[in-house]
Amino acid sequence: MKKIFKYYLPLLLFICCTLPADRKNKDFNFTDSLFEINARGSIIVLTDYSSTDYYIYRGQPLGFQYELLQNLAGYLGVSLDVEVVSNLDEAFARLENGEVDLIAQNLTVTTDRKEKADFTLPIMKTRQMLVQLKPRNWQLMSKKELESHLVSSPLNLGGKTICVSSGSAYASRLENLSEEIGEHIEVIETDKSIEQLITMVSEGEIPYTVCDEAVAKVNARYYPDLDVSTAVSLEQNLAWAVRKGETPLLEKVNKWIAGFTRTSTFRLIYAKYYESQKPTSLVESDYYAINSGKISPYDDYIRQYSNLIGWDWRLLTSLIYQESRFKTDAVSWTGAFGLMQLMPVTASQYGVQPESPAGEQIRAGVQFIKWLDEYFSDVPDPQERIKFILAGYNIGPGHVDDARKLAAKNGADLNRWDNHVSRYLLLKSEPEYYNDPVVRFGYCKGTETYRFVTEVLERFEHYRNVVRQ
């Protein structure tokens, strides 16, 4: 960090000193998002959850936008911090205020939006499609008869009522279309997401909505009674947005898009979410979190026992996913078994065996977590203590104690995990450190534990984004 700052400082001073007078005043907020991203080591991105772009399925975050963002973060050499917002007006406000670095949704590039943000190169192209319900017994109708029951041309939308998501480009397109055809189209904007509106059309609660073509086709596979064949716009670009004037970040992201969208990896990701037949079974699954609010088959047990330790149940769920992928019969090469992957000696202390039912396995694991919480009770910050508990759960509290002693000896904070105790746990694989007199438990490979803590907490944030408390 010091080297980065030393490198950038002369450049920043030069820029600030040579700014025009109107850009030197105290009201001008000069930023460089790319510099900030590199300095903090993460890119903060706003997206929305949907059946294609970002969701939780069987405990794992997935989605078209999510996988693209993972690749972008890897290209930038930083971690990915995803936040969810369903209201686009709020999203652009947070972008403008500097709270986030990027909006990663399928944003139609419009003149109005260009006044709020700068847009990347297109991620893909789309048309806006009308979503409507086919008539009863449509399977028995001829094509001509079916078309007679549907709005098959945007010219026939006069007098119709169409519900769309607030802040979307669909409302402005329909208003323009109303002018073009010379008839009034009643447009109702709502806070409901586009997928909620599509579901409402499929259930006959509203007559029409509008969405992007790729999303329309995916949802038509979920709901075969929907018709999505009528376009209400010409082809449009879909892109991401950065804050106005953030040229270095925009150029960096554009360079990545220009290369990545030509790769087979991009084509595979696109096909996975927009062309695969798997989504039908996905949406019907009890563990498609957007629809069901469930993460695993054991949510009830997890909610019950998480109260014993004062944890958010979604954090405990993330730990269980990390350990066993929700498999009650999972066994590791070390002999750890079950949902909580307890070692046999520890498991016997809490009265469970490999054949014990799921609820008992979770109860035993939570009791062990409670013991670890008491063990690390001298860590004053509860949020920091969770990181120590997770590390102790993975590698054992003795190795974590050693890392704390090394941290204290070398001037770091023994009560902080990131860049303090975690650093010395990683160093415990080197003779200089595992042979240090303060170390009791010798060598350990800390990389696995470091990754364990990071991934459990990152997945927890994804669960918080998508699944309610």
pLDDT in tens, 410-443: 999 999 999 999 999 999 989 899 899 999 998 8
Among residues 195, 213, 246, 323, the one annotated as catalytic is 323
Q: Is 323 a catalytic residue?
A: yes
Position 281 scores a pLDDT of 52
Report the percent of the chain where pLDDT is more than 70. 90
What's the average model confidence in pLDDT over 261-272? Answer: 92
Q: Rounded to 5 degrees, what are φ and ψ at 131? A: -110, 120
Write out the H or E segment, with its range, that includes residue 241.
strand 236-243
The residue type at 20? P
Contact 308, 316 (CB under 8 A): no
Position 286 scores a pLDDT of 56
The residue type at 395? I
Assign 304 a pLDDT band (cuts: 50, 70, 90).
very high
Structure tokens at 118: 């700068």
Q: How many CB atoms lie within 10 A of CB 50?
A: 25
The one-character DSSP state at 370 is H
Structure tokens at 273: 């979410």
What's the average model confidence in pLDDT over 24-41? Answer: 69
Rounded-to-integer distance, Cα 123 and Cα 300, Å: 40
The residue whose two tokens read 């026992």 is 305
Report the C-alpha dihedral over residues 381, 383, 386, 388, rounded to 10 degrees. Answer: -50
What's the average model confidence in pLDDT over 256-271? Answer: 94
What digits encode the pLDDT tens for the residues 316-358? Answer: 999 999 999 999 999 987 789 999 999 998 999 999 999 999 9
What digits encode the pLDDT tens for the residues 233-246? Answer: 999 999 999 999 99
In the predicted structure, residue 288 carries a pLDDT above the cut 60: no
- Report the chain's mean pLDDT, rounded to a whole number: 88
